[in-house]
Structure 1
Amino acid sequence: MRFPLGRRDRKDARLHSTEVEANGLTGRLLWADGTPAPGQDAAGNPAGPAYVLIHGIGVSHRYLRRLHNELAGAPTYSLDLPGFAGTPRPGRQLSVADYGSFIAQALKASGIDSYILVGHSMGTQFTIEAALYAPERARRLVLMGPVVDSRHRSVLRQGMALTLDALLRESASSNWIVLTDYFRCGPRWYFTEVPVMMGYPTEQRLGGINVPILVLRGNHDQVAGPEWCIRLAQAVPQGSFAEIPGAGHVVQHVRPRQVADAIRSFAGAASG
């Protein structure tokens, strides 16, 4: 895919990072030039609430990087969560609520107090819990490829769906990022958190959300099927659904511009 020179320059922009701590856990916050550094008044920016991108199990900000740069015309941050992406591993299994409170508290400590949470895969679960922990700060939620689809409620079925998606629907670059991030995470922590992901009651927890929600999937996603995603969008009073053509589960890496357009459209409609 070719881009005008200015867009290519933006995609190659360097991300800055800093460690963030909350509840005795350590993660990493990342941002690009043009976004206020942590401690500055990101929420007061005329562009509106910041976008905060949240990865799923085993991975990192890297597979969200293309989407980050597409959204970076507005304040945009990515998180590497505790135990993933080479951050210190916690001494115990963390619940989804533990991760949600970490996200909300780390953002508050960084001076980011108004945001649109954008989660992918298990990151959608973290996003829901962060919004429930600090509902006054989370203005909207975007759930990309949400898990766990009701068709895949066993580890075997979920693993098969992920494998088929990687083999049939993903690009070589997205598979490389995911696999190398799995290596950095390590099997011990990955499999510590798998039962947490599998047992999370996504639909039930969504019932407590009172802000606009966009459920988004690639139309070839083997992991988050259309019926499941539509059902989640219908589970909240202000839910909507969007599908991106020609993409699988890691839709934000393969079709970053289309995903960013859908998110911006949703954010603009929700604020209107």
Structure 2
Amino acid sequence: MDDRAPTTPEEDRVTTFTHGGAQLVVAERGTGGRTFLLVHGIGMGRRVFGDLVEQLSPHGRVVAVDLPGYGAAEEPIRIPTIERLADLLAAYLAAEDRPDGDTIAIGHSMGSQVVAELAARHPGAVDRVVLIGPTVDPAARSALAQLGRLAHDLLVESPTVLLLGAREYVRAGPHLRRKMRAMLVHRPELVYPRVTVPGLVIRGELDVVCPPAWCRQVATALRAPLVEISGHGHETMIRDAAPAARAILADLGIQPVDT
């Protein structure tokens, strides 16, 4: 059964959406026909997109979600696969009364896998995809390899990113290992050729989680441009989202607004 219920306002307009036993927590800001759907990575939540929301909200409605078991969303009975997370987002998009206009799905890290599946499994659900720091590089498809790369990447990040990331990982709960497994067994390289909407790939110049060769492979499979953010690592849209926002807006032909 589908269910949309308001929650106590914490920020913006916050609601919950439940479908198939899994819950999304949804925060909205901005208005207009264009919708930016923000999907976080493993161990994170919608709050890591705070700066990106600020940058994008002058240009449309921004919808940031907590996936099941992350942030404020309830822990599901079973850990959803990447495919099931995509199905949940598709159900949410189908249930909401969206204004006419494009929906741009933006996924960071594991969220890029969810966004790609959403576009591939549910044609017409979104009009464009943006993959920021796309995972999982097939050359490092193990928890140990991924955690090692992430730890190395965090060396270039700011204390703000480290503090926020640590808090969100704690909120992700005791099932993070199983959530990591769900991410690692998914093979995004098999999904990209099935994505028919326009795309954009963004990586931080210093991102060791998503090396240049892998991101070029992703961009080629999506038939999409690749933009590299100078001086940034894997968490490029957390530390300073302005460069990533400019790349997203430029891809849409939109002039950024100073915030």
Deviations 1:13-53 (A, max 9, x none): 94221111222211111112x33xxxxxx6xx2xxx31100
Match of 2:193 among 190, 207, 210: 207
TM-superposed CA distance for 1:267, in Å, is 2.0
Cα distance in 2 for residues equivalent to 1:229 and 1:213:
13
Task: Output the CA distance in 1 between the equivalents of 2:162 and 2:175.
Answer: 20
In structure 1, C-alpha distance between the alignment counterparts of 2:158 and 2:98, rounded to whole Å: 33
Equivalent residue for 1:176?
A: 163
Write the distance in 1 (CA, Å) between the matches of 2:104 and 2:123: 11
Quote the residue 1:9 is aligned against. none
Distance, in Å, in 2 between the alignment partners of 1:157 and 1:137 is 33
- C-alpha displacement of 1:190: 1.1
Structure 1: tracts of 5 or more residues without a match: 1-12, 36-41
| Unaligned segments of structure 2, at least 5 residues | 1-9, 255-259
Cα offset, 1:151, TM superposition: 3.0
Alignment of 1:226-241 (within 5 A): 226-236=212-222, 238-241=223-226
The residue number in structure 2 matching 1:119 is 107
Partner of 1:72: 57
1:95 Cα shift?
A: 0.7
Secondary structure of the 1:126 match is helix
Relative to structure 2, which stretch is displaced further, 132-141 or 212-221?
A: 132-141
Report the Cα distance in structure 2 between the residues aligned to 1:134 and 1:154, rounded to whole angstroms: 28
Distance in 2 between residues matched to 1:199 and 1:169, nearest whole Å: 28
Q: CA deviation at 1:189?
A: 2.0
Out of 224, 236, 240, the position equivalent to 1:251 is 236
String of CA shifts for 1:113-135, please: whole Å, max 9, x gaps.
Answer: 74110000000011011112321
Q: Is the 8 A contact 1:140 1:267 kept in 2?
A: no
Output the CA distance in 2 between the equivalents of 1:251 and 1:98. Answer: 27
Report Cα offsets for 1:119-154 as digits up to 9, x if no partner. 000000110111123211311100000111133222
Contact 2:229 2:243 (C-alpha < 8 Å) held by counterparts: yes
Letter of the structure 2 residue corresponding to residue 161 of structure 1:
R
Task: Tell me which of 89, 109, 112 is aligned to 2:75.
Answer: 89
Whether 1:264 and 2:252 are equivalent positions in the alignment is: no
Structure 1 runs of 4+ with >3 Å offset: none
Structure 2 CA distance for aligned equivalents of residues 259 and 157 of structure 1: 26
d(CA) in 2 for partners of 1:85, 1:147: 20
Alignment of 1:119-158 (within 5 A): 119-158=107-146
> Does the 8 Å CA contact 2:93/2:125 hold for their aligned counterparts?
no
Distance 1:107 1:210 in 2: 18
Q: Is the 8 A contact 1:70 1:260 kept in 2?
A: yes
The residue matched to 2:25 in structure 1 has which SS? Answer: strand
Alignment identity in percent?
Answer: 31
For normalisation by structure 2, the TM-score amounts to 0.89
> What SS does structure 2 have at the residue aligned with 1:72?
helix
Partner secondary structure for residue 151 of structure 1? helix
Normalising by structure 1, report the TM-score. Answer: 0.85
Give the distance between the partners of 2:98 and 2:214, measured in 1 at CA: 32
Cα offset, 1:93, TM superposition: 2.3
> In structure 1, what residue type is equivalent to 2:13?
H
In 1, are the aligned partners of 2:118 and 2:125 still within 8 Å (CA)?
A: no
Q: Deviations over 1:154-194 (max 9, x none)?
A: 2111110011111x2111111111110111111x3211111
CA contact (8 A) 2:45 2:66 kept: yes
Partner of 2:7: none
Root-mean-square deviation (CA, aligned residues, Å) is 1.6
Q: Distance in 2 between matches of 1:184 and 1:123?
A: 17
SS of residue paired to 1:268: coil
Q: Deviations over 1:62-91 (max 9, x none)?
A: 111101110001111101111111311111
Alignment correspondent of 1:21: 18
> Secondary structure of the equivalent of 1:234?
helix
2:257 corresponds to: none
